[in-house]
Structure 1
């Protein structure tokens, strides 16, 4: 009998890729990664994962490679990881359709990744979203902002990780960021289109979903505007029953409006004076360490359960415990060269700390982008209560220090931790 294989299209450099490989092995599957550059995923060699170099932007090449693999393996399922333009997950859906395997609807995924199209569909379904316009040039950006009213958020219509997203509080900031987006500094995966949105103010929440079931809701602190760099995430969020129910109800409305409901999704909200306003629907699993937070808090391994769904097995989202898990991100306060970073092992030894991960090595250049790439590491902790989890994190993060030499002088920076986001 041929060995059952799980095909992984591309990988993930900061956690989820390794977790999928490990989940596949636990389920008795042979993971195979297809990537344009397998060397960029260090865990492949460490885990001795079979990796095949293939142009993952070439759908026919992927079909040929999967067809070849079917001669040696029983391909149980195909999944993958979204890149900066989110196109990989669309390709995954198409491959699943081609080989008659369980998978997401690629048309729904593609509509969702175009933020302008997504907003049109949500608005048609009467889902509360910020006022929005789409613009292709500076004149249209300015007129759109004037119609909506400042402050506004400018963001690429296609993209992820808060790349190119900025709050513009006046027309000078609007012009500056428009020039950045359209002047060649921002890398566009497609023709440039800018989404101009009203600024929804209030606490930030994200619903973690599998299928049509809301697993739980987390809260995130994005730090100080104008950029959006994640500083802290807590799961589950401290919500009233009514707040939780309203967010869950709107989440399911989003799935219906966008034709989703298979596999993972994460839906972002701001809780405004009018209640929950949808910021974005992501038709995929949230990035690391969010899946770890769900596992630590509720005992639900969403990556393993998603893998079961991918291969057509029965999956289970039953909660096994009720703890609070949280992550704090290490964010430098300057550009320069990282001289050293220390204290990770001491932080990991703190009771209640589940993970300490540093993304950079000494001598690495630090060039802040105002998005997810600004983070140089994270610390994750869990305990039965929110207060205890926060105390554990604070103790651990206080043990981590680093030094960055800027171009003009040598100064020492320490871990920047967001205040308690309750």
Structure 2
């Protein structure tokens, strides 16, 4: 093949730049013929080899990243920039604008989603009901805000997602401490919000050319305050049709209000007595094994949906492999030393579903675990089961838990043996 022919072939192929996110690179190489650029820090050899255009960058220096990408773009122009990493979504918006791309998230839309205070402002301007909230810059302002809104309140970072850093505060002392923790962690402000009571629902949607397509609605069960660790839920949701229609319309209004287009979003709603209220908009696909559950029960592969949206296109689903799925986080009421049957992690015999479950425990037998609401506690594992009916899935889940035989042995100062925080998200 001549050099001119090679150049023509490269010009014809769709070319996508991925910011972080190894799964996206692997999925694109396995499922598409796209040419894949991959920008990341300290890139492992296998990913450098997998990507067509590896670019090692420092994500703490956005100007340098833009310069590096622009030099590559001048020779092998990208059609879209994608990422599923929360902190890099605004950078994707900046790159869209600096590279002169016509599709993908804009920097303004990214800010409107990632900054929860900006989200509230945009929604209120569009006439969408939002939680009462105040931005505070000190523990003292936090106390004043909590008194104005009315205790209990929720205190959270403005830029966090999926309950990260979120605290339920029933007293002014708790508010003061929660705000102090956020500011001491390097942020200049925090958000104090009213505490909503109701069922949590997640919505995954894709919006292109101003048209929103709701792809999936799922139930989200959360643990007790103050941390509200995500315990899992049913995929898809068991809401009735009128509730689904209401969420569909509100999702369309919400994404239009924040200016999100040619991108995907995971929206969290609380179903209050007065109707659904938007809690946050995460401009990315579901985290953890939520991706696998959406793919199994709808046929939509969320990672590919996100790439196609950034290219300005909706995609059609494959045939689903299951009717319903269940996600359960492994959490504990008390700290201690965990014992379980390790062989049960891989034992899939005797289950009703033909699809193998996912069973993960993040610590080895004999290692320490922390209580669900410990500052470094949360989810220490997960079980994902899919099948033909809710009853079938429930029975398979019970079989798996019986085989695991999780037991927590009392242990003083268990926190001394747990080196890293465990995610509050499933």
TM bin (shorter chain): 0.7 to 0.9
- Residues 179-229 of structure 1 show CA distances to partners (whole Å, capped at 9, x for unaligned) of 4334x3xx33x42x1211111101100111011111121111111111121
Q: TM-score, structure 2 length as denominator?
A: 0.81
Could you tell me how far 1:293 is from its partner in structure 2? 1.5
Q: Is residue 56 from structure 1 mapped to residue 52 from structure 2 by the alignment? A: no
Q: Is residue 257 from structure 1 mapped to residue 257 from structure 2 by the alignment? A: yes
Cα distance between partner residues in 2 of 1:304 and 1:62:
24
- Equivalent position to 1:23, from 12, 19, 28: 28
- Equivalent position to 1:194, from 183, 190, 197: 190
Number of aligned residues: 394
* Structure 2 gap ranges (5+): 1-5, 416-426
- Alpha carbons of 1:137 and 1:375: their partners in 2 closer, same or farther (altered >3 Å)? same
Could you tell me how far 1:404 is from its partner in structure 2? 7.1
- Residues 41-98 of structure 1 show CA distances to partners (whole Å, capped at 9, x for unaligned) of x9848x855754310232232233334545775644321232xxx3301111221232
Give runs of aligned pairs for residues 272-351 of structure 1, distance below 5 A.
272-311=272-311, 315-317=315-317, 323-334=323-334, 342=342, 343-346=344-347, 350-351=351-352
Look up the SS of the partner of 1:316 in the other structure: coil
Could you tell me how far 1:328 is from its partner in structure 2? 0.9
- Alpha carbons of 1:309 and 1:139: their partners in 2 closer, same or farther (altered >3 Å)? closer
- Alpha carbons of 1:322 and 1:405: their partners in 2 closer, same or farther (altered >3 Å)? closer
Report the equivalent of 2:205.
209
- Alpha carbons of 1:10 and 1:287: their partners in 2 closer, same or farther (altered >3 Å)? same
Task: Give yes or no for contact 2:161–2:282 (8 Å, CA) kept in 1.
Answer: no
In terms of Rg, which structure is larger? Answer: 2
- Equivalent position to 2:19, from 9, 23, 31: 9
Q: TM-score, structure 1 length as denominator?
A: 0.82
Report the equivalent of 2:419.
none
Report the equivalent of 2:168.
167
Give runs of aligned pairs for residues 89-100 of structure 1, distance below 5 A.
89-100=89-100
Query: Larger deviation: 305-314 or 203-212?
Result: 305-314
- Residues 3-32 of structure 1 show CA distances to partners (whole Å, capped at 9, x for unaligned) of 555322122xxxxx4255223432023444
Q: Is residue 34 from structure 1 mapped to residue 35 from structure 2 by the alignment? A: no
Give runs of aligned pairs for residues 66-145 of structure 1, distance below 5 A.
66-70=69-73, 73=76, 75-82=78-85, 86-101=86-101, 102-145=103-146
- Alpha carbons of 1:44 and 1:335: their partners in 2 closer, same or farther (altered >3 Å)? farther
Cα distance between partner residues in 2 of 1:198 and 1:130:
6
* Structure 1 gap ranges (5+): 12-16, 411-422
Task: Give yes or no for contact 1:328–1:378 (8 Å, CA) kept in 2.
Answer: yes
Cα distance between partner residues in 2 of 1:73 and 1:373:
46
Look up the SS of the partner of 1:134 in the other structure: strand
Cα distance between partner residues in 2 of 1:23 and 1:366:
37
- Residues 383-420 of structure 1 show CA distances to partners (whole Å, capped at 9, x for unaligned) of 2222222222232233333667844589xxxxxxxxxx
Cα distance between partner residues in 2 of 1:322 and 1:346:
20
Could you tell me how far 1:355 is from its partner in structure 2? 2.4
CA RMSD in angstroms, aligned pairs only: 3.2
Could you tell me how far 1:305 is from its partner in structure 2? 2.5
Cα distance between partner residues in 2 of 1:276 and 1:396:
34
- Alpha carbons of 1:147 and 1:70: their partners in 2 closer, same or farther (altered >3 Å)? closer
Could you tell me how far 1:349 is from its partner in structure 2? 7.8
